[in-house]
Amino acid sequence: MPAFDAFGPEKIIRVYDPKSGMKGVIVIDNTRRGVGKGGIRMTGSVSENEVMRLARTMTWKNAMADLPFGGAKAGIFADPKTLTPQKKKQLIEAFGRALKGIAPSLYVAGPDINTTEKEMGQIAIAAGSRKVCTGKPSRMGGIPHELGSTGFGVAHSTMLALNYLGMNPSDARVAIEGYGNVGTFVHQYLSQWGVPVSAVSDSSGVIIDTHGLDYERLMNVKKEFGSVTRYRGKHARKGNNILTAPANVLVTAAIPDLVTMQNVNQVKHKLVVQGSNISMSPGVEHRLHARGTLIIPDFVANAGGVISSYVEHIGGKPPQMFRMVESKIKKNVNLLFKEMDRTHLSPRDAAMRIAMERVKSGKWNGPRN
């Protein structure tokens, strides 16, 4: 049974299209600050409970980013790996038609796992309105998430956390879990800023080089072979567990529940930056915090994507988006550190205090650009 509290969810909308067989769910968690905003996840394992958890994360993320959005999320119950491109398009278009009457009055969609600017374009056309989603192709007035807004924000969060810990960026050794739209851009920006990335994983395995993986070469390998493990280098070797790869910083950038009570003792990093949503439970976070690990929570670290969505929503362009992502991430991560120092709370509890107060007030204090 769904769990409800004083914050939500306000609505759980189950959608079905008998012709295509599309089944999905839209969770509107909280709209006190504005229309519900969150991406559409399309996987074979996504569940209503997972979508609810993600919708609540979006409530906190939008509030922590100080945007005039509430929290929401959607899921399409299908595994794209088992679908033909035409069948996936049919399901996406059916979901777009199901948004009529829901978006954009209650919900504004966006990309998530297995949905990109291409799918957002299909959804906008099927729904009959470009306002129903963000992350659309640029030809439709969109700011595609493929520009790397989330990874850009995660990279800034990592740099701020290193500074907070007093760590020299060149002394960091970063392991990135997931080498998709978030992880690749985290690697790109950290490399540009002098932070060595010593390990990267994707669904095929882990590649390790304690001297630092070359971003350009790894990207070329990923594009050519579809797997980071095909990377070759003088010091490179394969691994099978990103949590135990040699690193003092872990950036999560793909799957939920990466760290659990069963494997939490494998995490020896000084810093964990949650580039992915719900990469661990609050209980796991508190255990790591008690051991002295600094954790930047997901709804703080990876807010770049939804900040980009807001800029698109108000008709802005990519240069404005990158400026706003940088300024808001820096402002809110530093605000988190101040709240931690003031209250001696864990990072999540300190961030939650800030976000909850913003949701309760229902007010938006942020600039429009």
Catalytic residue numbers, as ranges: 73
- Please give the Cα distance from 101 to 141 (Å, whole number): 22
What number of other Cβ atoms are within 10 A of residue 241's Cβ? 12
Assess contact for 110 and 309: CB atoms under 8 A.
yes
- Please give the Cα distance from 2 to 54 (Å, whole number): 13
CA atoms within 13 A on the CB side of 117: 18
**Tokens representing residue 274 in the block:** 């949650």
To which H or E segment does residue 15 belong? strand 11-17
Assess contact for 283 and 339: CB atoms under 8 A.
no
- Please give the Cα distance from 322 to 150 (Å, whole number): 10
Sign, Cα dihedral of 265, 267, 268, 270: negative
- Please give the Cα distance from 228 to 361 (Å, whole number): 46
Strand order in the sheet with 205-208: 237-239, 205-208, 197-202, 174-177, 249-252, 271-274, 294-296
Assess contact for 145 and 308: CB atoms under 8 A.
yes
- By CB atoms closer than 10 A (0-12, 13-18, 19+), residue 214 is middle
Angle formed by the axes of helices 85-98 and 117-127, nearest 10°:
50
Sign, Cα dihedral of 192, 179, 59, 291: negative
3-state helix, strand, coil in the chain (%, to 5): 45, 20, 35
